[in-house]
Amino acid sequence: YTLSLHDALPIYINSSAPDKLQVLEDYEKEAKKSLVSWESFLACVARNNSDDALEIIRRVEESDSFRVDQANDQRALFAVFAGNRKRSLLTKEGRNFLEEKIIQLSAINEFSTLHMLKVLGNIDLIAAEHQTDLIQVLKNIEEKLDAKKTPSVANTLKRILEGSPKGLKLWNDKP
């Protein structure tokens, strides 16, 4: 049994192989020829759990083929990354990236932004050690958004905060 490159890519980019960025670049050249392959490629990159996962995501985001104004690209790279809670919620770098992308996308596509916000919907169920940081992410986003221009995002943020009494208490009690 042999794996196709499509099947092997997620395993390979999660490795520490010295040529993984070259393999990724070569696969990207093929993937961008088809919208289905491109979206699958972006999702594979977004699910990456390697030590350099965010570096890889940012590299792909800077590609000429990535279109931040396209819902399928937003969904495949940013929403899938948000769903990778191990990275998006439990690491400082991931939380910073999530916050940055939610703010960026709120001005482009509220619907995609709402999908990303879903991962923050159960803060009180996350380990207490992460709750204050996640509440801070929400507060930072709330502060930077124009509620009149992005009402769905602003209202969703408000609902998430109201639905996170434990996290809010920890955040309010922090020194």
pLDDT on residue 2? 55
Q: How far is the first Cα of the chain from the last one, in angstroms, to the nearest whole number? A: 57
Alpha-carbon span 18 to 155, nearest angstrom: 45
**Residue 2 region by backbone torsions, left for phi larger than 0, else alpha for psi between -120 and 50, else beta:** beta
Enumerate the H helices of 47-150 as residue ranges.
53-61, 71-73, 80-83, 85-88, 92-106, 110-117, 128-144
Contact between 78 and 125 under an 8 Å Cβ cutoff? The reply is no
Q: Do 128 and 170 touch, CB atoms closer than 8 A?
A: yes
Mean pLDDT over residues 4-11, rounded? Answer: 77
pLDDT at 53 over 70: yes
Q: Decide if pLDDT at 120 tops 80.
A: yes
Determine the Cα angle at 38 with ends 32 and 39, to 5°.
Answer: 160
Q: What is the mean pLDDT of residues 84-106?
A: 96
pLDDT, tens only, 54-71 = 999 999 999 999 999 999
Worst-scoring range by mean pLDDT, 7-11, 18-22, 167-171? 7-11
- Burial code (b: 16+ CB inside 10 Å, e: under 16) for 105-132 equals bbeebbebbbbbbebbeebbebeeebbb
Is 160:125 a contact under the CB 8 Å cutoff?
no
pLDDT on residue 12: 87
Nearest to 31 by CA among 93, 80, 77: 77
Over residues 7-17, mean pLDDT = 87
Instruction: Please report which confidence band the pLDDT of residue 3 belongs to, taking 50, 70 and 90 as the band edges.
Output: low
Residue 38 predicted with pLDDT over 70: yes
pLDDT for res 159? 97
